[in-house]
Structure 1
């Protein structure tokens, strides 16, 4: 065997083993990720849009189970508790039966813009707000799959990805086979691994029939996601950061587009190229009879450092260029996000701050505000505004 190939293979194997070691260290004792975050009664009341008294009254009259207590003090509510409270107190934000599930593609052809970080934080934000979420990892690099606690090399087979559904010789007729439960009770995942890239090879090798096969795959992925979305409010797609078959299929299957971009000149230029390429591709798809329709297209500035003058300058250029299509609140570049990622987590999964409590609080508040912008777009598409909180009604009266 070629010595260079052997060297690359050895490096890949060493890296895969290290990822597994990190995963096991992060998820001890049983090497499976768990969700241990808890919510105090004040935070739970805020999320439900009610008063703490209403929660206590529901616990006192038996509509809700007693609050979890240890050594005489409340432990805080789990996500399962929170979902139960939403059902009992009629505080669920779920879409109405006639509302279309929002299928959001988080896409940019430029790597390093935080695409998978945005995907996972957006999924967990929506989960905490009470929505039913499906995340579909369409990228063979499988970063999103890893952040959900699965090792793509050791835990996921090709048959558990989109491959059996999208391959030239499919063995699955719908996507239910690929849906996996995650530590979040209201977030499911369709995982990915490196072998998903075989779809690209197969379609490239389809020869003269390639265009017809490609069009069929585009329509098939869209229909499969529409069928599956009946069980969810939000579907978030994480496509590869390149213009390939799977990326194009994802772009056509989505009904909304969120484009993360870092506040640097190369990222700005790359994003402009991405938008130009998307415009050309969408026109070609439409000409081929393949419909593409988005309820919203927005850009979000990621990894923004407010103390860096160059970031402020590039963000100003973004605002002048994209106007209202650029979401006003950027995602701040925070050590808390990086530290959480090292543990294969999002900030929403941390039981306690990794850095200082002030840094954690500032980071989480920024994420809530940034992700909340996307929630508003979804709710607007459903013809709804933000739910009015109980204390706001009282104050307004």
Structure 2
């Protein structure tokens, strides 16, 4: 092995050590991610869809524990866990009914840099704040989503804790229960990933002449495993690799809804068109092979949108003309608060106080609530809880 190749390995090792140092610094004192965010009574009432007086009355008559307070008597605010308990007591849980099919949403684009993992994690935390039970499945060997949930894929996660033992040529697991990990969010679980998950791609590529039947079996197996798990959740979010491979194809088939993030640049628009064209061909081939794919919705969401950049506005207008109502009307705004939170391996929903200015934080959080809320409405529409919006016929010219 020559010196340059060795240098690549040294660079990777140095980078992994730095990631671990950053993780330990971010999650002191136990080097483990925590959740310190609290909600005041006004925000809690808004989330629960009730009045502050109703919460106070429930506390006074003993249905809810007394409001947590500091030594000076000032209310500390409610934790996510306390909010979940309040939802149960006050009948404000948004959970699906027994006959409602869990939403299994693939957040997919073959173009890197569109914020796929950031969108997935923020969407998971948004659903958590709203009171849903969420499972996040990191199917990408780059494991960005796993990192954002506070795990170091190199140091904390082994191959046996990923999808690998279930999807490999010689599986050692017959279901996915082994891989589910709790997160700091009491109503969010994670199936993590790491670089070794890519071994599945190598194994299936080496399957030889029997590769077709092996691939078909893997597609059906991932869907079967996720269906078994999904019964414990309201929403399952899948973060597949940003490339067309075995795992991406399996995710496409396992999902029952598709969300495509794309940035407001011409290269991202062109790449996404290619992605959609490729998906169309692949889905037709899967259907021809007897592998059914059925989505309750397919939507595109513009991410990293800068409203002050004329080029972003121009590209977004092109998106609207091209994709019509399939493009969600509210984009995710480019925000320093999202970037600063990501530096701390967090989302905006995990911040117990603004990193930048209070105004920037409030604007970012309001935008995320509105953007993520669009997807919540689609999920609830699928359960018959929300009347479908009037939509024009998707322009296909």
Q: Name the TM-score, length of structure 1 as normaliser.
A: 0.97
- Give the equivalent residue in structure 1 for 2:222: 221
Please give the per-residue CA displacement for 1:28-49, whole angstroms capped at 9, x wherever unaligned: 0000000000000000000000
CA distance in 1, matches of 2:310, 2:328: 20
- Give the equivalent residue in structure 1 for 2:37: 37
Query: Number of residues paired by the alignment?
Result: 386
CA distance in 2, matches of 1:128, 1:350: 13
CA distance in 1, matches of 2:67, 2:314: 49
State the SS of the aligned residue for 1:235. strand
CA distance in 2, matches of 1:295, 1:5: 47
- Give the equivalent residue in structure 1 for 2:394: none
Aligned pairs (5 A) from 1:181-196: 181-196=182-197
- Give the equivalent residue in structure 1 for 2:54: 54
State the SS of the aligned residue for 1:188. strand
- Give the equivalent residue in structure 2 for 1:87: 88
- Give the equivalent residue in structure 1 for 2:392: none
CA distance in 1, matches of 2:5, 2:168: 27
- Give the equivalent residue in structure 1 for 2:5: 5
User: Is 1:368 aligned to 2:372, yes or no?
Assistant: no
- Give the equivalent residue in structure 2 for 1:167: 168
- The structural deviation recorded for 1:385 is 2.0
Please give the per-residue CA displacement for 1:260-305, whole angstroms capped at 9, x wherever unaligned: 0000000000000000000000000000000000000000000000
- The structural deviation recorded for 1:155 is 0.1
Please give the per-residue CA displacement for 1:169-201, whole angstroms capped at 9, x wherever unaligned: 000000000000000000000000000000000
RMSD: 0.5
State the SS of the aligned residue for 1:355. coil
CA distance in 1, matches of 2:299, 2:89: 35
CA distance in 1, matches of 2:184, 2:79: 12
- Give the equivalent residue in structure 2 for 1:112: 113
- Give the equivalent residue in structure 1 for 2:334: 333
State the SS of the aligned residue for 2:307. coil
CA distance in 2, matches of 1:100, 1:223: 14
CA distance in 1, matches of 2:233, 2:3: 49
Aligned pairs (5 A) from 1:65-144: 65-70=65-70, 71-144=72-145
State the SS of the aligned residue for 2:231. helix
Structure 1 segments of 4+ aligned residues over 3 angstroms from their partners: none
- The structural deviation recorded for 1:241 is 0.1
CA distance in 2, matches of 1:80, 1:331: 27
Please give the per-residue CA displacement for 1:349-385, whole angstroms capped at 9, x wherever unaligned: 0010001000000000000000000000000000002
State the SS of the aligned residue for 1:149. coil
CA distance in 2, matches of 1:84, 1:380: 25
CA distance in 2, matches of 1:61, 1:286: 58
CA distance in 1, matches of 2:314, 2:6: 46
State the SS of the aligned residue for 1:231. coil
CA distance in 1, matches of 2:63, 2:232: 26
- Give the equivalent residue in structure 1 for 2:251: 250
Please give the per-residue CA displacement for 1:235-274, whole angstroms capped at 9, x wherever unaligned: 0000000000000000000000000000000000000000
Unaligned runs of 5+ in 2: 388-397
CA distance in 2, matches of 1:325, 1:73: 46
CA distance in 1, matches of 2:81, 2:362: 23
State the SS of the aligned residue for 2:276. helix
- Give the equivalent residue in structure 2 for 1:208: 209
CA distance in 1, matches of 2:215, 2:5: 32
